[in-house]
Amino acid sequence: MAVSSGLAAALIWLAAAAVLSLLSYLPISALAETAAPEASGKRGCFWLAGLLLPVVGGAAVGVWAVSWATHLSPLASPWWHQSKHVCFRPLLQGADVELRARLVAGAAGLVILAAVVRTAGVLGSTLSVRRKCLRSAGLPSEKLQRALDRLPEALRPSPEAVHELRRPERNSMCLGLWRTDVVVTSGLVKCTSDEELVAVLAHEMMHARRRDNLWGIIATLCGSVLIFVPTALLFWRRWRRDAELACDTAAVAAAGGPAPVLSAFIRVLPGGEGLQNADEVTPAVLTAAAQQEEFGAERLMSLYLRTKGSPETSEEERARPTALRLVGAGVVALAVGGLVLVAWNVTATSLKCLAQSLLSALG
């Protein structure tokens, strides 16, 4: 009985989470787009909510429906004939009903198990990389320490949280989940100017301050559970993109402008060590660099336009689409909320019917 209840809950969980993800896409997208272009962190919160809420809500629905169904009288109860609902009994009847029910519910259980295994693998890999890097890393060099001293107070780390890895590669990383460390390779330290190094450190420290690694593990779990739902993939990709853009914005503020951030970004990529300054960055260089980095095109173009002094939109121009999006999000939210309230009895009864029908079919 416990196995049957677990499989039924898993199937209802995935079905409810998929429906919630699809329904929430329009209002969450509208709310996210109300944020100003530079408010990537705010937009990221909406995208993350779009990942988390359907999974948590779907799990609650699955547990509730199955818990209710396990304490219900037999399926032939007159209650089913007196309440309006979408009846799932015809789908779960027949000579081979138990086999079909076990195959479908088992597939749902495998999806959840695969999501947990994948997330555990990502977590293990993250912690392993942190251990290996910290074992090989040393104290910051004089140049790296100077850059650390120039960081804004809000982004300045504790002395033991920054390490220099004696390797020729040009790379920087924010490692760890709750307790984070920043590792910069000596190859990157050597080929960057002081301003570029400040930008690199500010970018990584913003990742640490936002707990992006921890949220990334949670987002990976939610995205893996809903891997078959296209809106979940969109939420996941947009959260990752805006997390990087938010850290780029912090780096621009710390470095005193976008030029050091842009040139530092390109130096990390293959072939970027020969770059002298941001003035050498051309559209051709941007195109080549964007192909080597995930979300590179959007990040590089955003920084490039800032270096060229692209005009900012006025407050009035910003307010108009923001107001329209807020109104649109409000209308969609009210419509969805009204539909849920009107159809709540039908929805709840249908879920109970599905849960009891599944338990009956699974034996």
pLDDT in tens, 132-159: 888 888 888 888 888 888 888 888 888 7
**360 compared with 178, residue with greater pLDDT:** 178
State the chain's mean pLDDT as an integer: 79
**237 compared with 341, residue with greater pLDDT:** 237
Q: How far is CA 238 from CA 24, 48, 172, 294, 298, in A?
A: 15, 9, 22, 12, 11
Q: In the structure encoding, which two tokens stand for residue 225, read together?
A: 């559970």
Tell me: pLDDT of 317 over 60. Answer: no
SS3 label, residue 75:
coil
Question: Which amino acid, one-letter code, is at 226?
Answer: L
Per-residue pLDDT tens over the stretch 182-228: 999 998 888 888 888 999 999 999 999 999 999 999 999 999 999 99
Tell me: pLDDT of 316 over 80. Answer: no
Question: What secondary structure letter does DSSP report for 73?
Answer: P
d(CA 312, CA 71): 61
Q: At what angle do helices 230-255 and 40-70 cross, to 10 degrees?
A: 150
Q: How far is CA 110 from CA 224, 288, 355, in A?
A: 11, 40, 19
Q: How far is CA 306 from CA 33, 259, 316, in A?
A: 20, 8, 21
Paired residues of 175 in beta bridges: 181
Phi-psi region of 211 (alpha: psi -120 to 50; beta: other; left: phi over 0): left
Identify the band that residue 115 occupies on the pLDDT scale cut at 50, 70 and 90: very high
Identify the band that residue 230 occupies on the pLDDT scale cut at 50, 70 and 90: very high
pTM score above 0.85: no
